[in-house]
Amino acid sequence: MLSRTEHRGVCRLISSVMSGTESHTDREEDYRFLHSMLMEKKLHLLFKIHERLRRFEKRGPVPVQDHAAGLASDLAEELICQCGRDRVKELAALLSKPNFKSLLSVHDAVAQRDFEPSLPPLSDDSLEDDQDSVKIVSLVKTKDPLGATIRRDRATGAIVVARIMRGGAADKSGLIHEGDELKEVNGVSLEHMKPKEILPLLTGSQGEVTFKIVPASTTEEMSSNKKLFMRALFDYDPNDDPAVPCKDAAVAFKRGDVLRVVSMEDDTWWQACRLGDGSTRAGLIPSQQLHERSRVALQRPKRILGPSLSFPAGLRRSFRLGRKSGRDGEAARSKRWSAGLHPRSSIRPPTYKEVIPYHRDPKDRHRLVVLVGPGGVGVDELKRRLLISDPDLFGVTVPYTTRERSRLETEGVDYHFVSVHMFEEDILNHRFVEYGRYKGHYYGTSLDSVHRVMAEGKVCLLDVHPNKIKHVYTSEFKPYVVFVRPPSIEELRITRRRAKFLSDEEDENSARIFTEEDFEDMINSAETIESQCGHLFDKEIVNGDVAVAFRELKVDLENLKEAKVQWIPAKWICSLPTNAQRSVGHSGGWI
């Protein structure tokens, strides 16, 4: 029954409705109908239920009992045993009525929140290494198809939902959307599977089909239909940045880290997650524009007062030929013909480079490994050790020359001996990664010789002047660039005590020990190379203790061979403007 106040409230409501409708009800009949409907007892009870529910909603009630049906049935059994008094009989009969039992079972279902869908059990490791948040979707499949098409994303290698057919099971479920990435079907990982290998998994199954899905990006990302990954080309620590709006909301990163950029809406602060730190929470990172502005501001006084940014005169690096023996000194000494890098004043500071994941098929060629570093740092030494350690895996190019072959030399092993005419024709056809003249003869490393090593199924180790990396910085070679950095001057003094290097191009037997000036040159050159080409480096190795440096390099290159995902510049794959270029304009300067 309604309480008096509630009844009064309902009456007031009804009379106001009635007075409002008077002018619109033409016929007496309509008026009476409406009146009787509003005075209906059931309607008033509904109001009452509504009011109660509103009150409960506010209080957030918790069920006192969630197994009421079982309790009632136990009670009914006991009461039947001791049937004596009428009231007991009546209660036992009430508890045994089917509608009362149904009411209690509905109560229990609600109390146990049984109405929520039950998820299949997840294996312990199913979520472990996922950077993205995943969802598990279970659909009941009849013999009809699910009504979705899938495709392999060419850039990421992921299997994604290409299309959802209207009215199909997938569409009706509302749980699978276009752009969703499929990770597993019924516990079977789809990694490295082709769409045509996946289709039988789906068409062959009936009943419950479980999908592990990485949901498609948010609407704004979906409009660009691609995830955006950036490799950081500088270190960033919010604790050292007075300009950051909120240190706790910012993400620290190191050069080389891959960031997944989720928002570029703000001109100055983007939002990104750092891959590999186990967190999927985005934080603030300085935008390309902001970082460029702040770096330019910081660099200005340095440019006026600081040292010149061109290579020091002592830099000898540029032409380490790929010969397997060190018998002949001329090629090594010919490296001096090459000019150094140009001053960088007009180039923007490195910020971010858009990258995409690359899944190397075991049938694909190995990536080219480019080694760079200042003269004398030990690039040749590391290359030599790699070759000895695994001659089946690593290979080097055979250089071209126009000089006469000596008695001890073999064509195609020590050099390719060619005519000046041929050599010059190849220069005109841009067939050299680098070339130069030494004592009136040409020497050069051709693109063909790089191809030859790669075609043998080997990892080609190429040692070039940093200026020449651009000639092989293509999707065809997918170079992995390793920068060999010298250690501190103190460590150089200790480790290079007995080391000798080729220093004087005029003197055939110019191997001599390092001087203090050589060490300084080496460190300055390393800084210059880094400032000018650091955006191209994938890996840095500090060559202090040569055994340690070699081990680190070897492990890194072996990991690269096995790696499931490698990060390569997006422009190697995408010929269209990439997301970053669309969003921030062309990031000129970076090849």
Ligand X SMILES: Nc1ncnc2c1ncn2[C@@H]1O[C@H](COP(=O)(O)OP(=O)(O)OP(=O)(O)O)[C@@H](O)[C@H]1O
> Closer CB to ligand X, residue 453 or residue 492?
492
Contact 366, 454 (CB under 8 A): yes
> How far apart are CB 373 and ligand X at their closest, in Å?
6
Q: Under the criterion CB under 6 A, does residue 380 sit at the interface with ligand X?
A: yes
Nearest residue (CB) to ligand X, 238 versus 399? 399
The footprint of ligand X on this chain (CB under 6 A) covers a number of residues equal to 21
Kind plus residue range of the DSSP H or E element containing 579: helix 579-584
Q: Interface with ligand X includes 323 (CB under 6 A)?
A: no
274 belongs to the binding site for ligand X (CB under 6 A):
no
Mark the segment that binds ligand X (CB under 6 A) among 94-102, 133-141, 390-398, 493-501: 493-501
Report the nearest approach of ligand X to the CB of residue 436 (Å).
13
Return d(Cα 145, Cα 56) in angstroms, integer: 44
Told to check if 427 binds ligand X by CB under 6 A, we report no
Question: Is residue 379 at the binding interface for ligand X, with CB under 6 A as the rule?
Answer: yes
SS3 sequence, 54-122? HHHHHHCCCCCCCCHHHHHHHHHHHHHHCCCCHHHHHHHHHHHCHHHHHHHHHHHHHHCCCCCCCCCCC
Q: How far is the CB of 416 from ligand X (least distance, A)?
A: 21
Q: Is 334 in the site for ligand X (CB under 6 A)?
A: no
d(CA 260, CA 275): 7
Secondary structure (3-state) at 41: helix
Considering only 271, 287, 334, 495, the residue that binds ligand X (CB under 6 A) is 495
Judged by CB under 6 A, the stretch of 188-196, 203-211, 369-377, 438-446 that binds ligand X is 369-377
Phi, psi dihedral angles at 285 (to 5 degrees): -135, 150
List the Cα angle 387/393/394 in 5-degree steps. Answer: 35
Which of positions 546-585 make contact with ligand X (CB under 6 A)? Answer: 546
CB 39 within 8 A of CB 13: no
Q: Which residue is nearest to ligand X (CB)?
A: 378
501 touches ligand X by CB under 6 A: yes
Cβ-based neighbour number of residue 27 at 10 Å: 8
- Which ranges of 188-329 would DSSP assign to H, the alpha helix? 195-203, 219-224, 288-305
- Binder among 500, 512, 551, 586 for ligand X (CB under 6 A): 500
CB 457 within 8 A of CB 474: no
Residue 360 lies near ligand X (rule: CB under 6 A): no
Q: Out of 283, 373, 399, 479, which residue is the one contacting ligand X (CB under 6 A)?
A: 373
Is 376 a binding residue for ligand X by CB under 6 A? The answer is: yes
CB of 498 to ligand X, least distance (A): 8
Q: Which is nearer to ligand X, 104 or 377 (CB)?
A: 377
Does residue 357 interact with ligand X by CB under 6 A? no
d(C-alpha 10, C-alpha 7), whole Å: 5
Q: Judged by CB under 6 A, which stretch of 37-45, 130-138, 371-379, 577-585 contacts ligand X?
A: 371-379
Residues 288-317 binding ligand X (CB under 6 A) are: 316-317
Nearest approach, Cβ of residue 325 and ligand X (Å):
13
Kindly tell me the sign of the dihedral angle through the C-alpha atoms of 327, 341, 418, 411.
positive
Q: How far apart are CA 457 and CA 366, in angstroms?
A: 7
CA distance 468 to 589: 15
Q: Which stretch binds ligand X (CB under 6 A): 8-16, 34-42, 53-61, 500-508?
A: 500-508
What is the residue type of 570?
A
Per CB under 6 A, 543 contacts ligand X:
yes
Instruction: State the residues that interact with ligand X by CB under 6 A.
Output: 316-317, 320, 332, 335, 373, 375-381, 495-496, 499-502, 543, 546
